[in-house]
Amino acid sequence: MQDVSIPVPGGHINVWHRPPHERAETAVLVHGLSGNSRWWSSVIEHFPEDAGLIALDVRGRGSSTDSPAPYDLSTVADDIARCLDHFDLERAVVAGYSMGAWAVALFGLHHPERAERLVLVDGGFPMPRVPGQDPETFIDAMVGPSLRRLEIEFESEETFFDYWKTHPALERHWDDSMKTGLGHELFEENGHFRVRANPEAIRVTAREITVGEEANTAAEKLEVPTHLIVVERGTADQPGGMIPLDVAKDAAKANRLLTMQYLPGVNHYTLLLGKGAPVVASAITGAN
């Protein structure tokens, strides 16, 4: 895997890339709200060695933190197409986790001819909200933990990982292998460590996945083979994943091209960083 700079209008984005061997498929991987390309590390370990991989650092995150606006999900969808163009690929399997699932759904809607198949990993469909809840309150609750992490000045890399070890979704499931996925967002500044991410980019995409009409209706309009994975528990290990099971079941009934898979005993974070990783890899490679 190597970092590659991809030109986009006004600048560049970073992708983590491995070329395919001969006729093997290439998978494009799109991370979540405040994540980065390395969140896919545990999943990638379960890919065939000959598979091609393109894991984006979405604009405003990881090594694309300084990439130019706009930060909306339609632009992310277009960036996926730009990555395919850069590597001379007509089509690819495209998978998105959490926020990335909404971006991938938009890619499938806007560029269906470029999608071999899609995998939506606990995202892409409307999330549950309390009836009558103010949208801004909902958005603030979603981005609050991510934005607070951006404000922390960590004394060392280990202090940063200690922060994650106490996260409610990871504290009972921590494994040092998670450091690869989480550490890419860290950079040193004046002897201390901070998180690389653009708060504006996070807010823009958080708004889209919560109240954006196009982002929340794209998945139901897809006309390419799509697989949706949902889990039992959420971002704080609370009951209920990002996408409710009944929403996933109804979506599969409504679209003959959509299949769904439910993972009990897995939360939104361990789905990618922990024991859900091999299942996600199998779904993307078509081994399931």
- Would you state the torsion angle of the CA atoms of residues 180, 285, 118, 179, taken in this order, to the nearest 10 degrees? -10
- Three-class SS of residue 92? strand
pTM above 0.75, yes or no: yes
DSSP structure class, residue 64: G
Residue closest to 201 by CA, chosen among 82, 35, 25, 38: 35
The top-level CATH class assigned to 2-285 is: alpha beta
Q: What is the pLDDT along the chain (288 residues), one digit of tens a residue?
A: 999 999 999 999 999 999 999 888 999 999 999 999 999 999 999 999 999 999 999 999 999 999 999 999 999 999 999 999 999 999 999 999 999 999 999 999 999 999 999 999 999 999 887 677 777 888 887 788 888 888 999 999 999 999 999 999 999 999 999 999 899 999 998 889 999 999 999 999 999 999 899 999 999 999 999 999 999 999 999 998 899 999 999 999 999 999 999 999 999 999 999 999 999 999 999 865
d(CA 17, CA 2) in angstroms, rounded, equals 5
List 192's β-bridge partners, or say none. 189
116 with 92: CB under 8 angstroms? yes
51 with 105: CB under 8 angstroms? no
Please provide residue 199's backbone torsions phi and psi, each rounded to the nearest 5 degrees.
Answer: -60, -35
201: enclosing H helix or E strand: helix 199-211
Please provide residue 55's backbone torsions phi and psi, each rounded to the nearest 5 degrees.
Answer: -105, 115
- Number of residues that this document lists for the chain: 288
DSSP annotation string for 244-256:
-HHHHHHHHHH-T
- By CB atoms closer than 10 A (0-12, 13-18, 19+), residue 22 is exposed
DSSP structure class, residue 220: G
